[in-house]
Every structure is written in C-alpha cells, then in structure tokens.
Amino acid sequence: MSEKYQVVNGNKIHENGDREQNDDASLKEMADCYRLILQNVGENPKREGLLKTPERAAKALLFFTKGYHQKISDVINGAIFTENHDEMVIVKDIEFFSMCEHHLVPFFGKVSIGYLPNNKILGLSKLARIVEVFSRRLQVQERMTKEIAEAVDEALKPLGVGIIVSASHMCMVSRGVQKINSKTLTSVMVGEFRTNQKTRDEFFRLARS
C-alpha cells in the first residue's frame, strides 16, 4: 500500500485518484470499527438511532479527510491569470473545519490569506479551495498554516505570502482543560511579508480589521 503514497510533511497523499475503489472497501472496515467503539462506550448499536450510525460516522470521517485525495494542481484548475497588479491581495475570514490529529476531534476557525502578486494572480475561490485541501485532513494547526503558505507560494511564485489562522480547538474546549473562549493563532510569512515590516503591518491591519 505504501507505493501509492507520497509523503508530504508527514501527510500521506494519494498520487492517483483511485478514491472510489479505496472507499468502498474501507467504508465497511471503518463502519465495523465504529460499531465496536459504540459497544465499548456502553451504548447499544442496535437501537433505532444508532442502527446506521457506523456507516454515517465512517462516511463523515472520510469527508473530513477528503483532502488527502486532492492535488493542488487539480484544485487550482489553471485559474492563474497574468495581471499587472503588484499590490496586496487578501482573502480573509475563510472558515475552515479540520480534525485534530491527536484526539480526532474537530478544530475550526478562520484563515486569512494575503499575497503580493508577481504578475500572476490566482482565482480568488482557489485560495479557499487550497484551504479546503489542507484542512480536510488530520492536522495540526501549525502544519496546516505552513502547507497553505507553501501551496500558494508554489502555485504563483509571488513576491510574498502571508497566512493567519485563528481557530478554536474542541479538544481543548469540550474536554481536558475546557477553556471555552480560547483561540489559537498561527501565522506564516513568506518573502516580502517576512522581510518587509511595512508589508507585514499592512497585512495584519487589513486582515484583522
């Protein structure tokens, strides 16, 4: 099974889109795992409300990890345009939902992406799609932020990229230390955003306003 994978930053990515074949076989396996989990938790998997829960939960988890099967080149779909624009482009407050890889519990929040084009601009929704690809995986917020930055950087080769991710982690809110209002902020600055203080300030001011 390992030949099919390409490991990027610790996340395995399917090289081909043989998703259908994988999913049918693994769906049944995953449903069985969930049925066992339901029993262990003390519930009765045969009661009406839980009868189809293993299948539903398996499909839900597959949906939450569909980012593994997506390639950035497919998602961008050629929506890169030549444009003589060298001012900052920001798409902010893109909501995302990801899964904490440590507890398998969701974390969610907002991503703000800014970049300084180098004669090439990206279709705006593609920035949101890039967020989707990397958020629909078992993730750690730091890694997700970096992966989004690298993807935008590689796709466009811009003068600079800045990403800010602000998220609420249910593993911290609904269990463990239980701090309801806490938010985790991570950011990655590449190129001009890293070297130039004024660019960075402008980005922070616009993205966080």
Partner 1 sequence: MSKYDVSELDADELNQAIDDTNFPQSHHVPSSNGNRDDGDEKNIRKPSMPLPMKIQNGILSKSYSDDVFAMPGTPRTPRSITTPGNWHEKCTFHHDLELDHRPSTREDLISDMANSYRMLLSSLGENPNRQGLLKTPERAAKAMLYFTKGYDQSLEEALNGAIFDEDHDEMVMVKDIEMFSMCEHHLVPFYGKVSIGYIPCKKILGLSKLARIVEIFSRRLQVQERLTKQIAVAVTQAVQPSGVAVIIEGVHMCMVMRGVSKTQSKTVTSTMLGVFRDDPKTREEFLNLVHSK
The residues of the shown chain that bind partner 1, judged by CB under 8 A, are: 5, 7, 10-12, 14, 22, 26, 29-30, 32-44, 47-50, 52-53, 56-57, 60-65, 68-69, 95, 97, 101-106, 108, 138, 140, 170-171, 173-177, 180
CA 50-169-93 angle, 5° bins: 110
Nearer to partner 1, 6 or 77 (CB): 6
- 46 burial via Cβ count (<10 Å: 0-12, 13-18, 19+): exposed
Give 166's contacts (C-beta < 8 A, 6+ positions apart). 109, 110, 183, 184, 185
- What minimum distance in Å lies between the beta carbon of 78 and partner 1? 26
Residue 19, classed as helix, strand or coil, is helix
Closer residue to partner 1 (CB): 137 or 200: 137
For residue 183, the minimal CB distance to partner 1 (Å) is: 15
Output 61 or 89, the one with its CB closest to partner 1. Answer: 61
Which residue, 81 or 97, is less far from partner 1 as judged by CB?
97
CA–CA distance, 96 with 32 (Å, rounded to integer):
29
